């Protein structure tokens, strides 16, 4: 039991998963975020999207385009879309990256999980994504989150590299 002389805040901050100043705020992206998103993208990918594509995506996917903000800085982003096949609605992770200084802190995991929650709120039954055949670390990351390889697409990327399509089905 905590007495009135003790400060409960240090104890709360030490609990696993408790909020700390470096816990990211996951929020919808805004047009003001696009320049930082583009910089993260250029650093992360050989064939990056440009500002026009990110801005256009923001107008199409306002509820499934999110950023992680740490102490006022955009540390990562994720762009998702909902796709209706006529039989099912599923989420599509279109683009996703975390800035190099913020990697290995769980920010990417939090972005993916938050997007999956949004997909589920919008009646998706699962989520899919494409990942480079050569990107074993990303494939391991997605497998840890419950994604499975479902098929591959030859020559998917601009440089001719193949992609694995990975899928996660939501359990309700």
Residue 131 maps to which CATH number? 3.40.630.30
Q: Answer yes or no: is 9 within a domain.
A: no
Query: How many other CB atoms are there within 10 angstroms of residue 77's CB atom?
Result: 24
Q: What would the pLDDT profile of 53-77 be if each residue is shown by its tens digit?
A: 999 999 999 999 999 999 999 999 9
Which has the closest alpha carbon to 80: 131, 52, 114? 114
20's tokens: 């700390």
> Range of 133's domain?
22-169
Residues 110 and 66 sit within 8 Å (Cβ to Cβ): no
Q: Answer yes or no: is 147 within a domain.
A: yes
Give the count of domains, the chain: 1
Q: What would the pLDDT profile of 38-53 be if each residue is shown by its tens digit?
A: 999 999 998 899 999 9
């Amino acid at each position: 039991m905590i007495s009135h002389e003790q400060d409960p805040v240090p104890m709360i901050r030490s609990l696993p998963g408790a909020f700390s100043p470096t816990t990211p705020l996951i929020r919808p992206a805004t047009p003001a975020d696009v320049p930082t998103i583009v910089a993260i993208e250029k650093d992360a990918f050989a064939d990056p999207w440009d500002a026009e594509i990110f801005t256009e995506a923001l107008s199409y996917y306002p509820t499934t385009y999110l950023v992680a903000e740490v102490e006022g800085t955009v540390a990562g982003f994720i762009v998702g879309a909902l796709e209706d096949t006529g039989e099912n609605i599923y989420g599509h992770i279109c683009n996703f990256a975390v800035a190099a200084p913020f990697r290995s802190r769980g920010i990417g995991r939090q972005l993916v999980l938050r997007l999956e929650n949004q997909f589920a709120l919008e009646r998706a039954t699962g989520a899919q994504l494409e990942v480079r055949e050569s990107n074993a670390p990303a494939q391991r990351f997605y497998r840890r989150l419950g994604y499975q390889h479902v098929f591959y697409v030859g020559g998917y990327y601009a440089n001719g590299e193949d992609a694995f399509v990975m899928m996660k089905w939501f359990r309700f």
